[in-house]
């Protein structure tokens, strides 16, 4: 492994024009006809590079996470790019996140002068990276799922030169579809539940290890709930449009959204994860807590990022449309991204040059695992060096 470099940190601000019917974020970003983006660039002191590694998540900032910093310490130039929705995905529109990522890549090429750009999609950034790349290679999107115009097709998105898909899930919609609590029978009353579908209720006669028949029933009920919410969102949006008033959007709460039976039954899609635990802690607590998946959302945002049938941020579909070199990394003790997702994406990917690797024992965040973080970093670096994208 390369000797560790001293890393310089640079705050990055980008601004570009956008005209929208209304803004989805409170404050500076998105108002007065402009989108403002903030990121952090890491550069090893005195070490130039023609390649920039771009880490981006639709709703999180990644500069405090271990992988970007570890890559910079090996001599790589790294950008942790925040979307306009960083730290608040309530009204996130995935198509606009593509535009934000495109602005960073254009800046990297045309202003900073990097010859190569590598998208590193960790966690929720994996589907974003693959979906962006698909649109950059073959642009197609002209409207959001709600029917609002969004000119992704005409934005001139610049493709990346390689994509790394690391400890990532297929999409936010896929993750929610496998985690949403199917026991909820009334969306306005989370206490109205079907006991036989409530995996946290001790009265439920179905207990781990779950039977295949129960899991089939459970998954079908999850999908049915997802589609009920989607149908309601579309109907409500249509009603608002028909009124032709100033009310054009509506926020709502989605109760109980973290009830993946895999968290309670380690025999389901087994890996090295800790049972009765998830990446956010006790899954029963997270299921009803304020940071649950899709807890606070809007009609448009639900369709754009959470609807399994409508979201364009679908990594599985995006992978089928990309040709760039692809590295897929599964962490064998991942307690966030389902064990099945990385392999599914790898098998679906159209890239002629694609590689699949597993980091044995690694958790989602590599917490307390410096040796496994180093293994992942060396893997990514070596893979890029083999393709002439990083200097030895």
The pLDDT score that the predictor gives to residue 28 is: 58
The answer to whether the CB of 58 falls within 8 A of the CB of 92 is yes
Q: Which tokens is 77 given?
A: 């130039």
| 165: β partners | 121, 328
According to the model, what pLDDT value does residue 1 have? 45
pLDDT above 90: percentage of residues in the chain:
89
Contacts of 386 (CB under 8 A, 6+ apart): none
pLDDT of residue 377: 96
Q: How far apart are the first and last CA of the chain?
A: 10
Distance CA 266, CA 223 (A): 22
User: 173-212 pLDDT, tens per residue?
Assistant: 999 999 999 999 999 999 999 999 999 999 999 999 999 9
- 313 CB neighbour count, 10 Å cutoff: 27
More confident residue, 180 or 25: 180
The pLDDT of residue 122 is 94
CA dihedral 199, 202, 204, 206 (to 10 degrees): 70
Please check the confidence at residue 21 and state whether its pLDDT lies above 70. yes
Rounded to whole angstroms, the Cα distance separating 165 from 182 reads 29
- How confident is the model over 296-350, as pLDDT tens digits? 999 999 999 999 999 999 999 999 999 999 999 999 999 999 999 999 999 999 9
The alpha helices in 189-211, defined as continuous H runs, are: none
Convert the pLDDT of each residue in 104-163 to its tens digit. Answer: 999 999 999 999 999 999 999 999 999 999 999 999 999 999 999 999 999 999 999 999
- The pLDDT confidence band at residue 30, using thresholds 50, 70 and 90, is low
What is the per-residue pLDDT across 50-67, written as a single tens digit (0 to 9) for each?
999 999 999 999 998 889
The per-residue pLDDT for range 71-95, each reduced to its tens digit, is 999 999 999 999 999 999 999 999 9
Mean pLDDT, residues 347-376: 96
Q: Return the pLDDT at 64.
A: 87
Residue 375's pLDDT band (cuts 50, 70, 90) = very high
Residue whose token pair is 């025999």: 267
What pLDDT digit, counting tens, does each position of 253-296 carry? Answer: 999 999 999 999 999 999 999 999 998 899 999 999 998 899 99
pLDDT of residue 27: 63
pTM over 0.85: yes
Q: What domains does the chain contain, in order, with CATH numbers?
A: 7-171+311-386 (3.40.50.1820), 175-306 (no CATH)
Four-point Cα dihedral 392, 322, 179, 185, nearest 10 = 160
User: Kind and range of the H or E element at 105?
Assistant: helix 94-110
């Amino acid at each position: 492994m390369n000797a560790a470099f001293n890393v310089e940190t640079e705050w990055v601000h980008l601004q570009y024009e956008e005209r929208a019917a209304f803004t989805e974020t409170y404050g500076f970003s998105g108002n007065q006809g402009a989108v403002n983006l903030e990121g952090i660039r890491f550069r090893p002191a005195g070490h130039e590079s023609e390649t920039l590694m771009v880490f981006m998540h639709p709703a999180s900032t990644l500069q405090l996470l271990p992988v970007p910093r570890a890559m910079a310490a090996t001599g790589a130039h790294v950008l942790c790019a925040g979307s306009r929705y960083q730290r608040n995905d309530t009204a996130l529109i995935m198509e606009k996140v593509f535009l934000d990522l495109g602005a960073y890549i254009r800046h990297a090429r045309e202003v900073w002068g990097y010859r190569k750009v590598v998208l590193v999609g960790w966690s929720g950034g994996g589907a974003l990276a693959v979906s962006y790349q698909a649109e950059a290679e073959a642009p197609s999107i002209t409207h959001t799922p709600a029917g609002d115009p969004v000119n992704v097709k005409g934005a001139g998105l610049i493709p990346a030169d390689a994509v790394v898909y690391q400890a990532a899930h297929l999409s936010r919609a896929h993750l929610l579809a496998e985690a949403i609590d199917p026991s909820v029978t009334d969306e306005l009353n989370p206490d109205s539940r079907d006991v036989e579908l409530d995996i946290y209720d001790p009265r439920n006669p179905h207990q781990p290890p779950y039977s295949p028949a129960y899991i089939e029933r459970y998954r079908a009920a999850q999908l049915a709930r997802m589609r009920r919410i989607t149908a309601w969102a579309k109907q409500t949006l249509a009603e608002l449009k028909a009124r032709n008033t100033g009310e054009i959007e509506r926020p709502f709460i989605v109760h109980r959204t973290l009830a993946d039976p895999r968290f309670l039954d380690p025999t389901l899609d087994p890996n090295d994860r800790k049972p009765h635990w998830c990446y956010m802690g006790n899954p029963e607590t997270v299921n009803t807590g304020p940071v649950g998946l899709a807890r606070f959302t809007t009609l448009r945002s639900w369709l754009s990022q959470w609807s399994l049938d409508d979201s364009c941020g679908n990594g599985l579909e995006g992978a089928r449309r990309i040709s760039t070199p692809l590295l897929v990394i599964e962490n064998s003790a991942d307690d966030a991204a389902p064990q099945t997702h990385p392999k599914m994406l790898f098998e679906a990917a159209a890239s002629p040059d694609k590689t699949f690797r597993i980091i044995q024992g690694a958790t989602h965040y590599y917490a307390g695992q410096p040796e496994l973080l180093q293994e992942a970093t060396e893997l990514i670096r070596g893979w890029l060096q083999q393709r002439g994208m990083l200097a030895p």
